[in-house]
Chain A
Amino acid sequence: MIEIRGLAKDFQRAGESTVHALRTIDLTVERGEFFVLLGPSGSGKTTLLRCVAGLAVPDRGEIVLDGVTVYSREKRVLVPPERRGLGMVFQSYAIWPHMTIFENVALPLAQKRPRLGKAEIRERVSQALSLVGLEGMERRPTPLLSGGQQQRVALARSLATEPVLLLMDEPLSNLDARLREEVRKEIRNLAARLDITILYVTHDQMEAMELADRIAVMHEGDILQQGSPEDLYRKPADPRVAQFFGSTNWIDGRMRDKDAVETAVGCLAVTDSGERTAGEAVVVAVRPEDVELTPHGQEEAARENRFPGRVVSNVFLGDHRVYTVEVGEHPLLVRTLASVLLGGDVGVRIPREKVCVFRARSRDELPSADGS
Chain B
Amino acid sequence: MRGSAVYHAEERGGEALAALRLRIGHAAERLPLPLIAFVTLGLVVVFLVVIVQVSLQVEDDSGTRYGLDNFRLLYTDPFTAKAFLNTAVFAGVALVVAFAFAIPCAWLAERTTLPGRGLVFPLLTVTLLVPSFFTAMGWVILFHPRIGIANKALMQILPIEQAPFNVVSLVGMGWVEGIALVPLAFIMIAASFRAMDPALEESARVHGIPFFTRLRRITLPLLTPGILGAVLYVAAITIAAFDIPAVIGLSNRIHTFSTFVYTTALPLEEVPNYGLIGASSAVMLVVGLLLTWRYMIVIGESHRYAVVRGKDYRANLVDLGGWAVLGWAIVGAVIVFNVVLPLLALTWVSLIPFLQVPSAAAFGTMSLDNFRAVPWANLMTGLRNSVILLVTVPTLSLVAGMAISWLVIRSNWRMARTLDVLAFLPHVIPNLIFAVGAFLLAIVWFPAHWGLFERGIGIIILVYVVTRISFATRMLNSGLVQIHEELDEAGYVAGLGPMGVIRKILVPLLSPTLLYSWLWMALLAFRELTMAAFLASRDNLTLPVIIWSMWTAGRLNQAAAVALVFVGLMTPLIVLYYVFGRRHIGVVQ
- Residue numbers in B under 8 Å from A81 (CB-CB): 6, 489, 492-493
Q: Measured between alpha carbons, how far is A62 from B8 in the docked complex, in Å? A: 16
Q: Measured between alpha carbons, how far is A85 from B491 in the docked complex, in Å? A: 12
Given A50-B5, A77-B22, A92-B486 in contact, is the A55-B492 Cβ separation under 8 Å? Answer: yes
Contact with B495, one of A91, A96, A108 (Cβ below 8 angstroms): A108
User: From residue A198, how far is it (CB to closest CB) to chain B in Å?
Assistant: 15
A82 touches B486 (CB 8 A): no
- Chain B contributes a number of interface residues (CB within 8 A of A) equal to 29
- A56 contacts partner chain B, Cβ-Cβ < 8 Å: yes
B497 touches A80 (CB 8 A): yes
- Residue numbers in A under 8 Å from B19 (CB-CB): 76
- Residue numbers in B under 8 Å from A167 (CB-CB): 493
Q: Measured between alpha carbons, how far is A108 from B496 in the docked complex, in Å? A: 8
- B505 contacts partner chain A, Cβ-Cβ < 8 Å: yes
- Residue numbers in B under 8 Å from A73 (CB-CB): 16-17
B495 touches A82 (CB 8 A): yes
Binary interface profile of B, 1-44, with partner A (CB < 8 Å = 1, else 0)? 00011101100100011011010001000000000000000000
- B494 contacts partner chain A, Cβ-Cβ < 8 Å: yes
Interface size class of A (residues with CB under 8 A): 35 or more
Q: Measured between alpha carbons, how far is A177 from B504 in the docked complex, in Å? A: 35
Q: Measured between alpha carbons, how far is A108 from B504 in the docked complex, in Å? A: 12
Contact with B493, one of A53, A78, A98 (Cβ below 8 angstroms): A53
Total A-B residue contacts, Cβ distance less than 8 Å: 97
Name the CB-closest residue of A to B511.
A98
User: From residue A110, how far is it (CB to closest CB) to chain B in Å?
Assistant: 8
B493 touches A87 (CB 8 A): yes
- Residue numbers in A under 8 Å from B6 (CB-CB): 54-55, 80-81
Name the CB-closest residue of A to B505.
A96
- B487 contacts partner chain A, Cβ-Cβ < 8 Å: yes
User: From residue A51, how far is it (CB to closest CB) to chain B in Å?
Assistant: 9
Given A55-B5, A56-B5, A76-B22 in contact, is the A96-B493 Cβ separation under 8 Å? Answer: no
Interface-central residue, A81, A83, A87, A158, by most chain B CB under 10 Å? A81
Given A55-B5, A87-B493, A107-B494 in contact, is the A94-B509 Cβ separation under 8 Å? Answer: no
Contact with A54, one of B16, B492, B504 (Cβ below 8 angstroms): B492
User: From residue B480, how far is it (CB to closest CB) to chain A in Å?
Assistant: 15
- Residue numbers in A under 8 Å from B16 (CB-CB): 59, 73
- B67 contacts partner chain A, Cβ-Cβ < 8 Å: no
Binary interface profile of A, 129-166, with partner B (CB < 8 Å = 1, else 0)? 00000000000000000000000001001100100000
Q: Measured between alpha carbons, how far is A84 from B26 in the docked complex, in Å? A: 13
- Residue numbers in B under 8 Å from A59 (CB-CB): 16
B496 touches A82 (CB 8 A): yes
A111 touches B509 (CB 8 A): no
Q: Measured between alpha carbons, how far is A190 from B496 in the docked complex, in Å? A: 26
Q: Which of A91-119 contact B (CB under 8 A)?
A: 91-94, 96-98, 107-108, 111-112
- A233 contacts partner chain B, Cβ-Cβ < 8 Å: no
Given A57-B8, A76-B20, A80-B6 in contact, is the A96-B487 Cβ separation under 8 Å? Answer: yes
Interface-central residue, A54, A82, A112, A167, by most chain B CB under 10 Å? A82
Q: Measured between alpha carbons, how far is A59 from B8 in the docked complex, in Å? A: 10
Q: Which of B492-527 contact A (CB under 8 A)?
A: 492-497, 500, 504-505, 508-509
Name the CB-closest residue of A to B30.
A80
Name the CB-closest residue of A to B5.
A56
- B320 contacts partner chain A, Cβ-Cβ < 8 Å: no
- Residue numbers in B under 8 Å from A157 (CB-CB): 490, 494
Interface-central residue, A50, A76, A90, A94, by most chain B CB under 10 Å? A94
Contact with B9, one of A57, A91, A92 (Cβ below 8 angstroms): A57
- Residue numbers in A under 8 Å from B500 (CB-CB): 82, 111
Name the CB-closest residue of A to B489.
A55
- Residue numbers in B under 8 Å from A76 (CB-CB): 19-20, 22
Q: Which of A239-269 contact B (CB under 8 A)?
A: none
- Residue numbers in A under 8 Å from B487 (CB-CB): 94, 96-97
- Residue numbers in B under 8 Å from A92 (CB-CB): 484, 486
- A88 contacts partner chain B, Cβ-Cβ < 8 Å: yes
Q: Which of B65-102 contact A (CB under 8 A)?
A: none
- Residue numbers in B under 8 Å from A87 (CB-CB): 493
Name the CB-closest residue of A to B494.
A108
Given A57-B9, A77-B20 in contact, is the A111-B484 Cβ separation under 8 Å? Answer: no
A-B contact pairs, 29 of them (CB 8 A): A53-B489, A53-B493, A55-B489, A55-B493, A56-B8, A57-B17, A76-B19, A76-B22, A78-B22, A80-B26, A81-B6, A82-B492, A82-B493, A82-B496, A85-B495, A87-B493, A88-B489, A88-B490, A88-B493, A93-B486, A94-B487, A94-B489, A96-B487, A96-B491, A96-B509, A98-B509, A108-B494, A111-B494, A111-B495
Additional pairs, 5, CB under 8 Å, beyond known A81-B6, A82-B496:
A55-B5, A88-B489, A92-B484, A96-B490, A108-B494
A interface residues (Cβ-Cβ under 8 A, vs B) = 50, 53-57, 59, 73, 76-78, 80-88, 90-94, 96-98, 107-108, 111-112, 154, 157-158, 161, 167
